[in-house]
Amino acid sequence: MKKWILFFIVFLSTTLFLCAQDDTYEDIFNQLPHFLTNQEKLLMDDWGKKIIPTQPPSSPVRAVAEFESMSSVLIRYPLGFPVSFVKTLAENCKVITIVANLSTQNSAISSFNGANVNMENCSFMIANTDSYWTRDYGPWFAFDGNNQLCVIDFTYNRPRPADDVIPSQYAIYDTLTSYLMNINQTGGNYMTTGTGIGASTMIAYTENNNNSANVNNMMNSYLGISDYLVLEDPNNTYIDHIDCWGKFLAPDKVLIRSVPTSHAQYNAIEQTAQFFANTQSSYGHPFKVYRVFTPQNQPYTNSLILNNFVYVPIMNSSYDADALAAYRQAMPGYTVVGVLGLSAAPWESTDALHCRTHEIPDRRMLYVNHIPLEENQPLQESYLIDADIISHSQGQIVSDSTLVYFRVNGSNYSSVPLTNISGTHYQALIPSPAMGDTVFYYIHCVDSNNKKANHPLIGYPDPHYFVLSIDQNAPLIVHSPINSVHLNDFPLTLTAEVTDNVLVSNVFLEYYTTDSTQVTSLVMQHIANSDVWTIDFNPSFNEQNYLYYRIKATDNSSPENISYYPINNWIVMQISSDNTEIPVINNKITLKSVYPNPLSLQQNNDFKIEYFSNTSGIITFDLFNIKGQKISTKKVYSSSNQTKTLTFSLDSEKNSISSGVYFIRMSGSGNHISKKLLFIK
């Protein structure tokens, strides 16, 4: 039954009330303003109180951002903009027009034909409406856990019963499943990045009894909004809609209006812009904030993004050109079009083009999920590109058309294939250029139903990029200290396992004795195809002595990064002669293998370690990241002369582990042995 019972109750009460004012229902609702009328305010206390919500969609749910791939646009007739704009829309997209009946549909067709609208791209949905603000009362969209597009419904925050049921009616019209949240909302006060972040002004809470926990839970359960940014309205207007001052342009881009310093809301607007500049986007860096100048409260942020087109309301003023230029700067490659309003229904600072249109997602879209590489990258042999590619049309990904295109500085684009790792997960390696170079790249893919997608969405005109900057990570040294040896043990072989995020350049053994405080530096030799460095050490001693040593490693960055083991001290080695008791050293542990290596964390939560010990006691296995930070520890008791296999589970650590190089260190009987692992997500 959804909202039909409530619809009838409110419809009847509203009709009786308005008729008492000597106006017909039809006349009043044909002239409804964007704000609440005095009559409507009297109805708000009971509005939406008897709604029975549905269960949320199956998880995981992903809300669709309005800058994603769209199949059509939803408008209402009579229009809230010039019919010439319908012609513009129908040249690039399907147009669905809500009409009250066949008579209204015929009027719309006559009007569209008079404007030379491409009628092949037009269809009509018959339904009653109270207003033309399809943005505010229209359906929201998300993909459910089965990758099916669905309608997310809500109680419209206006007591306008015909408008309020449009989402469920649209779901029937377009054969989509509809889910109803038990909260008051409005489309002009909602925007999402499509990657789990949403934003609204404070009415999202105040119009729901200030129950922020319930609102956040609804937004998460029904839309997958895990990070809901709810802000005070910096405009301080009656409507409190976020599209009056801000707009997400991409998962990491947001447009915020700006005003002169003399403007009453200057400080509040600047604080809002700074909030986004300090807020992490889903790409792991703060939002890139773009500004559009609105000195006379022009509604430039109240725009419509429809695939590769951006339609911006303009006011026929001297500021229009700069507003269009601001969009072109923020969205390279998009076609930015200025749209004048109707003289009878002009654009307002609180009501413009975005409010009167509503994009409809392509239910069969090809979707690419990718976290771009951080802007500053150290020099390394190659750069791993990870992506998840989902064909909502159930098509097969075309392997020879699924590529990462890249270029270095101003060169032409080259490509490398994206290889399927498992399920929807794909990877590619971009070969390394030189230090200081800038690498630009984008992902392009095609499925067997000829659906195409890029990441970023516009593709090559606005690619991701990273700069090969100065490496600030020093090598990591793993070494088993030798604290005492006999004089006859020399020459003594010392080894260290040394790794770096890029490349180890040199490893040195530095030492001095009690006879000489001068430090001597010896070059250690690299064992090919390993991380091991070694030296046969044979210094000169008296019969009894102490030797102080440490290991130094450098990388190939400029300037080079240097690390020491130990970090701040020296290892003290006691040298024993024939007349001195020789300490017993146990170094009889062996780390034989670690597998699988590399380990795909999407397929498996654990790896196995095969090890040998000829001593009885506790053996410790520590997992470190490339920075030397300990991630996890496992301890086992081992008997002598045993080879065993340990399963190292990562169930609790899996979410905190990212793709990259790690180390497993085995410790026992005062000795340490390490091996390198590669984790892939």
Instruction: Work out the average pLDDT over 206-224.
Output: 96
Say how far apart CA 436 and CA 476 lie, in whole Å. Answer: 24
Structure confidence at residue 575 (pLDDT)? 81
Structural element, H or E, at residue 222? helix 212-223
Where does the pLDDT of residue 538 fall: very low under 50, low under 70, confident under 90, or very high at 90 and above? confident
Say how far apart CA 674 and CA 238 lie, in whole Å. Answer: 65
Instruction: Work out the average pLDDT over 396-415.
Output: 95
Spatial neighbors of 643 by CB under 8 A, at least 6 apart, are: 592, 610, 611, 612
Looking at the chain, the whole-number percentage of residues with pLDDT higher than 70 is: 92
- Is the pLDDT at 133 greater than 70? The verdict is yes
Where does the pLDDT of residue 283 fall: very low under 50, low under 70, confident under 90, or very high at 90 and above? very high
What SS3 class is residue 90? Answer: helix
Block residue for tokens 């995020």: 501
- Is 150 a known active-site residue? no
Q: Which of 21-25, 26-30, 58-62, 650-654 has the highest mean pLDDT?
A: 58-62
Where does the pLDDT of residue 26 fall: very low under 50, low under 70, confident under 90, or very high at 90 and above? very low
Peptide bond into 78 cis (omega under 30): yes
- Please check whether residue 230 is in contact with residue 204, taking contact to mean a CB–CB distance below 8 angstroms: yes
One-letter amino acid for residue 322 of the chain: D
The larger pLDDT score, comparing residue 420 to residue 35, is at 420
Say how far apart CA 223 and CA 182 lie, in whole Å. Answer: 13
Structure confidence at residue 542 (pLDDT)? 63
CA distances from 246 to 249, 269, 338, 361 (A): 10, 10, 18, 21
- Is the pLDDT at 23 greater than 70? The verdict is no
Beta strand residue intervals within 381-524, DSSP E: 382-391, 403-408, 414-417, 419-422, 425-431, 438-446, 452-455, 464-468, 476-478, 484-486, 492-499, 504-513, 516-523
Structure confidence at residue 1 (pLDDT)? 43
pLDDT tens for 646-672 read: 898 888 777 778 877 777 888 877 677
User: How do strand 197-201 and strand 227-231 relate by DSSP bridges?
Assistant: parallel
Structure confidence at residue 304 (pLDDT)? 98
- Is the pLDDT at 583 greater than 70? The verdict is no
Structure confidence at residue 378 (pLDDT)? 83
pLDDT tens for 496-537 read: 899 987 778 899 999 988 767 688 899 999 887 778 888 888
Structure confidence at residue 544 (pLDDT)? 57
Say how far apart CA 437 and CA 415 lie, in whole Å. Answer: 17
What SS3 class is residue 112? Answer: helix
> Which one is catalytic: 93, 122, 150, 355?
355
Structure confidence at residue 532 (pLDDT)? 87
Structural element, H or E, at residue 325? helix 320-330
Q: In what order do the strands lie in the sheet with 191-192?
A: 191-192, 197-201, 227-231
Structure confidence at residue 29 (pLDDT)? 37
Supply the DSSP string of 250-295, one letter for each residue.
ETTEEEEEE--TTSTTHHHHHHHHHHHHTSB-TTSSBPEEEEEE-T
Structural element, H or E, at residue 205? helix 203-206
- Is the pLDDT at 543 greater than 50? The verdict is yes
Nearest CA to 362 out of 247, 230, 468, 451 is that of 451
The region of weakest confidence among 165-179, 328-342, 664-678 is 664-678
> Which tokens hold the place of 100?
């009250």
pLDDT tens for 37-57 read: 888 888 887 787 778 999 999
Round the average pLDDT of the chain to a whole number and report it.
88
Structure confidence at residue 259 (pLDDT)? 97
Structure confidence at residue 24 (pLDDT)? 29
3-state helix, strand, coil in the chain (%, to 5): 20, 40, 40
Block residue for tokens 């230029």: 325
pLDDT tens for 589-632 read: 777 778 887 788 777 888 888 888 877 778 888 887 766 678 88
CA-angle at 652, arms to 147 and 677, nearest 5°: 95
Query: Other CB atoms closer than 10 Å to residue 434's CB: what's the count?
Result: 9
Cα-Cα end-to-end distance for the chain: 44
Which residues are 227's β-sheet partners? 197
Spatial neighbors of 267 by CB under 8 A, at least 6 apart, are: none
Block residue for tokens 């509040």: 268
Structure confidence at residue 9 (pLDDT)? 39
> The pTM is what?
0.70
Say how far apart CA 556 and CA 535 lie, in whole Å. Answer: 21
- Judging by beta carbons within 10 Å of its beta carbon (0-12, 13-18, 19+), is residue 546 exposed, middle or buried? middle
Instruction: Work out the average pLDDT over 22-31.
Output: 36
What SS3 class is residue 10? Answer: helix
Structure confidence at residue 40 (pLDDT)? 84
Structure confidence at residue 630 (pLDDT)? 80
Structure confidence at residue 31 (pLDDT)? 53
Phi, psi of 4 (to 5 degrees): -65, -35
Q: How many residues does the chain have?
A: 681
| Residue 140: CA count within 13 A, CB half-sphere | 32
The larger pLDDT score, comparing residue 29 to residue 257, is at 257
- Please check whether residue 68 is in contact with residue 95, taking contact to mean a CB–CB distance below 8 angstroms: no
Q: What is the largest CA-CA distance in the chain?
A: 119
Say how far apart CA 678 and CA 598 lie, in whole Å. Answer: 5
Where does the pLDDT of residue 310 fall: very low under 50, low under 70, confident under 90, or very high at 90 and above? very high
pLDDT tens for 82-100 read: 999 999 999 999 999 999 9
- Judging by beta carbons within 10 Å of its beta carbon (0-12, 13-18, 19+), is residue 135 exposed, middle or buried? buried
Looking at the chain, the whole-number percentage of residues with pLDDT higher than 90 is: 62
Q: In what order do the strands lie in the sheet with 309-314?
A: 304-306, 309-314, 335-340
